[in-house]
Amino acid sequence: MRIRRRFEPFQDMKIDRRTWRWIGIGVGMVLAGYLTAYLVLFPAPFLPGHQAVPRVLGLTLADAQGEIQKAKLQVADGGAEPHPTAPQGVVIWQDPPPDVIAAEGTKVTLVSSAGPPKIPVPDVGGLDATLAQSMVAAAGLVVSQVESVQAAAPTGLAMMTRPPAGTALAPGAGLTIVVSRGAPTIPVPDLLGMASADARTRLETEGLQLGTVTRRRTTEGSPGTVVAQSPAAGTLAAPGTVVDIVVARSPQ
């Protein structure tokens, strides 16, 4: 019995040390939680004249500048950069980032969106008209008009775009594709010696038009008849081509 009593004080001391150790761990956890809440969840400046940088991402540039100045900070212009989704003029980047503690007068650089990046008009020259339209659509642009013209290129081939290839356009912008409808096929008739009224009728019958009629004193032909024409007889012309003529007047 005496031996058992002799060791009892040491057992009590061992229990006290364990208890104090757990108490220390608990206090440490409480302090860690408090510091986390103080520094992360509810940040506040440590020194007078310091404050958290406001979050201005997503605001218009004017509103963002107002928020920065309200926090007694300065605004530095970081320019504008293309952005696939942010509208033009909206802040997409700031430095220092939001919630950083900064001294009064600190410069906050703001970068705004320049809108979606521009799309260069693809070169569709020499492609089938249908393929050319598909290429324009794949690039993110819209074919708003297809214009056909008389040309030496085979019928149905795209010749060019308006605006031309390489022009930078906003996504979804419209453009015109110019397509060949084949080479001119109407030979200009010979109008020399005809009366001006007959020349008009002949041209309209062929699908052409009478243009400027110039009267000139000459002995080359009878008065009132055609003595010159442009384009010349036999020239292949597109439907609706204008033909100018010169009509003889009496030399006296």
Q: Tell me the β-bridge partners of 43.
A: none
CATH number of 119-180, picked from 3.30.10.20, 3.30.420.40, 3.30.365.10, 3.40.50.300: 3.30.10.20
Q: According to the model, what pLDDT value does residue 152 have?
A: 79
The answer to whether domain 50-113 and domain 186-249 are alike in fold is: yes
Q: According to the model, what pLDDT value does residue 29 have?
A: 75
Q: How many CB atoms lie within 10 A of CB 184?
A: 16
Domain ranges of the chain: 1-42, 50-113, 119-180, 186-249
CATH number of 50-113: 3.30.10.20
Query: Which helix or strand (DSSP H or E) is residue 44 part of?
Result: none
Class of domain 186-249: alpha beta
CA 80 to chain centre: 14
Low-confidence residues in the chain, pLDDT < 50: 1-13, 41-42
Q: According to the model, what pLDDT value does residue 235 have?
A: 92
- Rounded Cα distance between 252 and 208, Å, is 33
DSSP reduced 3-state for 6: helix
Per residue in 10-41, pLDDT tens? 444 455 666 767 777 776 776 666 556 555 54
For the entire predicted model, the pTM comes to 0.47
Q: According to the model, what pLDDT value does residue 10 have?
A: 44
Q: According to the model, what pLDDT value does residue 16 have?
A: 63
Q: According to the model, what pLDDT value does residue 35 have?
A: 56
- Rounded Cα distance between 248 and 217, Å, is 6
